[in-house]
Amino acid sequence: MKIIGQQDDGTWLEKATIAHDDWLTSATFSADGSQVITSSRDGIVKITELRRKHSWSAVTE
């Protein structure tokens, strides 16, 4: 899954890629957009959050 964000000039930029070993089955963002939870057919759930300087990093794997 790729997280894409719009820049101030209106262009789009890839912010992060969240990889799983099998098909993604779900992706849900928190209400404030600072976290995303993904799950896949491999049985793995990942929580990724937006950190300072607008970078995304894994909380759990």
Residue 50 domain-assigned? yes
Q: Is residue 8 part of a domain?
A: no
Write the DSSP symbol of residue 54: G
CA separation for the pair 47, 6 (Å, rounded): 22
State pLDDT tens for residues 18-57: 889 999 999 999 999 889 999 999 999 999 998 866 677 7
CA distance 61 to 45: 7
What lies within 8 Å, CB to CB, of 9 at 6+ separation is: none
Residue 30 lies in a domain: yes
Place of tokens 């939870």: 37
Higher pLDDT, 59 or 8: 8
> How many structural domains are present in the chain?
1
Place of tokens 């820049």: 7
Judge whether 4 lies within some domain: no
Residue 24 in domain: yes
